[in-house]
Structure 1
């Protein structure tokens, strides 16, 4: 019988990824798969045949190798955290020396570099939504709907893609996010990501118009009716991403800020919109939405529930308000609480 320490790096990797299938979403699974695949390939290049031969020095050499390839600090941190988790698994099955995971160096990321600050800023979101709501041609289109949905719910790409027509409740004005992993539409936080999110009536008007006039009458492979629908049925994650890039092109509502002619600009082509410096991905629209929620005075506990993220994660990764925004929009309304009132007037 093979002993755990005799597993090859590739065999250990496959075993680890396999045992995590019940603990993580498909998207997280793909991330672990890719990060550790890089490590496996490096081990094979270094002729490391047994995980039992791993040492602190081996792991440090791999970290140095990845760092030397010029990857971002946040990327290196993520890869080494995954490596640490993997080595902890190897310890648990007694394939490596005890406490080897403690020798994995997970680099610190300086403040301000741990998350991407790029977002759809509120002024641009207002201009885009105002355009869509007032343009007879683009009102209620797929691009209009995806922008309104992500901006007003702060939902992730996967959550919006997972919506069915039945998950939208027009009369009661809300959408319901449901975890359906067996049918290809898991939520990132699984059942903990399930929630009902209320909508303003003007957002519902847009959804109603889209369903009545623009939505393709298609089903996915499970017989469900996707709310956001392509010619084939439920769109892929990348297709939804492309739609959002197109929905946020700045030349939609005004002159190109980069001096290009929209008629000839290559960024308006279907597969090129992501290259426009001002177009935004679903994640960047979500980031802008969460900042907007907070700037509008929506309490953290309410924002947390709507967007399905912890307060710590919101503060660290999504809430990108500038210092002046925080002062003007969040703190200044509380100044009246600092008034001495009658005591001050009597002095």
Structure 2
């Protein structure tokens, strides 16, 4: 049975957006085929370098000539951003997207201040202006996808809450059921299935080769290996290497994808990536776009919660703009939901930590989305186990 966890959102981003009355609806036409969409994504995907946030900051100051108070101000602001990337497990600047920027704004305003409980509107405006200058530099250096800087809100806004979400059973099951029925063993199906059923990071998925799908003593598993010299890395390096158990059903989907739909290509190092485009290993940005698209309600046969018409919505069905949909999710909420589900099932923290390559401290601080009531129920189970020993 699929993980039973719920989706939780805070803030007002899910309210229906007003649309101009004079927008002309586009003529309806036939929906693009998957091959056409994949080709478009491949052409649009930027060749971004794997640059860490700290290295990007170093590059920023090497190209700027700030001095005195201005330099100290930028150093302070960007130090917070680097710290947030570490807390959010963002390894490279190429992993930063528009949703991350909104999430950072909230964190910087409410969670990061050390001298005050909450940054003033003028202070957060200053912080975001500096961040926008930095992100523009990252775009110019091909550290970040173009356009991210354009959505950075530098004005005083009392309604800029971001969604704190984790993808739940209804949404995830609907997504996977739709993919299984209409796009079985497609690249989207494989990407979403792995993320939903293993909780691994997007970077880990990006690193998988066909030969990493293995049978270990009768158990199907994915071998995750850190190979920086060959263009694929794990968040925690060699310490993040591990075998991740997968179910027989998941293994069958991967096998069918490899046999029927995977592009038979190698990457620049002669390796056979699991998830491929016509040109080789899919870029992380491409994988991310698949997740955004597949988590759009209108793309899995559901009505738009915002009441928008998919035929005229700029974000509907377009991988390059799917992240602009307020209802779409990145891969992180899938990971967060998976870990929360394991916690609800009273799985040990050590097991979750080993399987998902995340510390117990990080789980408690960023991944545990259980309510106080659900936490109590979990403790009750543990107390019963202890009491049975007496």
- Matched residue SS, 1:222: coil
Q: Which runs of 4+ in 1 moved over 6 A?
A: 109-113
Equivalent in the alignment of 1:178: 225
Match of 1:281? Answer: 330
- Structure 1 unaligned runs (5+)? 1-25, 49-56, 82-105, 341-347
In the alignment, what sits opposite 1:296? 345
1:192 offset after TM fit, Å?
Answer: 0.7
Please report how far the alpha carbon of residue 331 of structure 1 lies from its aligned counterpart in structure 2 after TM superposition.
3.4
Deviations along 1:189-211, one digit per CA (max 9) or x if unpaired, are: 11111100101122112112211
Unaligned ranges ≥5, structure 2: 1-48, 88-111, 120-161
Instruction: Verify: 1:231 aligned to 2:274, yes or no.
Output: no
Shift of 1:76: 7.5
Tell me if structure 2 keeps the 8 A contact 1:117–1:320: no
How many residue pairs match? The answer is: 270
Residues 333 and 112 of structure 1: CA distance in aligned 2, closer, same or farther (over 3 Å) = farther
2:296 aligns to what?
Answer: 249
Contact in 2 for aligned 1:165/1:225 (Cα 8 Å): yes
The superposition leaves residues 316-337 of structure 1 with CA deviations (integer Å, 9 ceiling, x where unpaired) of: 1222223233334x23545756
1:160 aligns with 2:227: no
TM-aligned CA deviation for residue 311 of structure 1: 0.7
Q: Which one of 353, 362, 367 corresponds to residue 318 of structure 1?
A: 367
Q: Find out whether 1:240 has 2:261 as its counterpart.
A: no
Look up the SS of the partner of 1:219 in the other structure: coil
Contact residue 53 and residue 82 of structure 2 kept, 8 A: no
C-alpha distance in structure 2 between counterparts of 1:289 and 1:174, whole Å: 17
Residue 345 of structure 1 is matched in structure 2 by none
CA distance 1:293–1:34, shift in 2 (3 Å): same
Contact 2:53 2:85 in 1 (8 A): no
Residue of structure 2 in register with 1:331 after alignment: 379
Greater relative contact order structure (CA < 8 Å, 6+ sep): 2
In the other structure, the counterpart of 2:247 is 200
- Are 2:170 and 1:123 equivalent residues in the alignment? yes
- Name the structure with the higher helix share: 1
1:128–1:74 CA distance, 2 compared to 1 (3 A) = farther
Aligned match for 2:58, one of 14, 19, 36: 36
Q: TM-score, normalised by structure 1?
A: 0.68
In structure 1, C-alpha distance between the alignment counterparts of 2:280 and 2:57, rounded to whole Å:
31
Tell me the secondary structure at the aligned position of residue 280 of structure 1: coil
Aligned residue in 2 for 1:141? 186
Q: Distance in 1 between the 2:241 and 2:278 partners? A: 27
- Separation of aligned partners in 2, 1:214 and 1:270: 19
Question: Could you tell me the TM-score, scaled by structure 2's length?
Answer: 0.61
| Cα distance change on mapping 1:143 and 1:76 into 2, 3 Å | closer
Asked if structure 2 preserves the Cα contact closer than 8 Å seen for 1:74 and 1:109, the reply is no
Computing the radius of gyration from Cα coordinates, the structure with the larger value is 1
Offset of 1:112 from its aligned partner? 12
CA deviation digits over 1:121-162, x for unaligned, max 9? 3331122223333x1x31111111111101111111111000
Q: Offset of 1:265 from its aligned partner?
A: 2.7
